[in-house]
Amino acid sequence: MTDLSEPLQGLWLPLITPFRDGKLDEQSLRRLVRHYASGPVDGLILGATSGEGMSLAICELEQLVEVVRSEINDVGRYLPICLGLSGASTAKIKDVLDETAAWPIDFYLIASPYYVRPSQRGLLQHFTELADHASWPLLIYNIPYRTAVNITNETLLALAEHPNIVGMKDCCADRAQSIDFLAQRPPGFRVLTGEDAQYFDALSDGADGAILLSAHVETEAFALVRSLLRQGKREAASAAWQGISDLTRLLFVEPSPAPAKHWLWRTGLIDSAEVRLPMVEVSMELAARLDREIERRSRQREDSLVVPALSRDP
């Protein structure tokens, strides 16, 4: 792709990675891709936090990408793929960039180095080296509550000038910082929020879209919120948001993606809620809460489909 500005907007799904008996569950993965590719999803993130990417071997990442791309091709709809990468060593990530250079992806999502807490100068050099080296364009992933370092707007603005850095997943958890960056970013540089609970606010502030784990559930409703805001129907968008905002809390009561996997398993999209250590499946208490919410929303959908009986003259 020569211009990623157009696809880098809308609703992106950080696809969970289904497992069965310790291995990647290809059958469930294909079912997931067919389901979401037929809906209002604008792109897929693979192997990132929600996809338990840090637990995947490089051969599993390759299998994941190949299966997803194959299924998308069979659906007959173009859907861009982003590969999530993370690590604390610039050199090691460059090695992974070399290993994945020929994979059928569109760009990378790369988190800032975790644990080592580099300076802003170090972050600037780190991402610059990766962008210089990568065969595919980069999105920067700023998530300081996981990496222990925040990329300041000064550093982000410098990186945004790099021709191979085309956007950012914003999880800085500081709305003032996000608004300031949106006001200063160069033309064409895309910002997608990754804060599920702040989806409505981020779109209202000018974000181009979102990467939301919660959108595995009620996908159409999440897409509707953005559509209504773009039409200038703020009250309707707010009402639609109120109907799903509780999901952005429920699905994070325990470490993600275990709650979402439980939901997808119970609704038949995947064959197992299995996660990989150190992640564990949801507690019995949360499982019961999730099951009740699944049932409530199922009844709600059924009620909405009931057609009132036609009135008749006596």
Band the pLDDT of 88: cuts 50, 70, 90: very high
Q: What is the pLDDT of residue 21?
A: 97
CA-CA distance, 172 to 101, in Å (whole number)?
Answer: 29
Query: Active-site residue among 36, 108, 169, 199?
Result: 169
Mean pLDDT for the chain overall: 95
Residue 104 CA: distances (Å) to CA of 80, 134, 157, 217, 310: 10, 14, 29, 27, 54
Q: Checking DSSP bridges between strand 190-193 and strand 19-20, what pairing results, if any? A: unpaired
Q: What is the pLDDT of residue 19?
A: 98
Is residue 199 annotated as part of the catalytic site, yes or no? Answer: no
> What is the tens place of the pLDDT at every residue in 188-225?
999 999 999 999 999 999 999 999 999 999 999 999 99
Q: What is the pLDDT of residue 16?
A: 98
Contact in structure between 181 and 208 (CB atoms under 8 Å): no
Give the list of residues 6+ apart from residue 200 with CB closer than 8 angstroms, or none: 225, 229, 237, 238, 241, 245
> What is the tens place of the pLDDT at every residue in 24-75?
999 999 999 999 999 999 999 999 999 999 999 999 999 999 999 999 999 9
Which tokens belong to 87? 């690590």
Percent of all residues in the chain with a pLDDT value above 90, rounded to a whole number: 92
Angle between the N-to-C axes of helices 284-305 and 258-266, in degrees from 0 to 180, rounded to the nearest 10: 50
Give the list of residues 6+ apart from residue 69 with CB closer than 8 angstroms, or none: 81, 104, 105
Kindly report the number of other CB atoms within 10 A of residue 91's CB atom: 8
Domains in the chain, ordered, with CATH?
10-231 (3.20.20.70)
Query: Active-site residue among 141, 145, 233, 261?
Result: 141
Q: What is the pLDDT of residue 36?
A: 98
Name the 3-class secondary structure at 106.
coil
> What is the tens place of the pLDDT at every residue in 285-308?
999 999 999 999 999 988 877 644
CA-CA distance, 185 to 191, in Å (whole number)?
Answer: 9
Q: pTM of the full predicted structure?
A: 0.94
Is residue 169 annotated as part of the catalytic site, yes or no? Answer: yes
> What is the tens place of the pLDDT at every residue in 241-277?
999 999 999 999 999 999 999 999 999 999 999 999 9
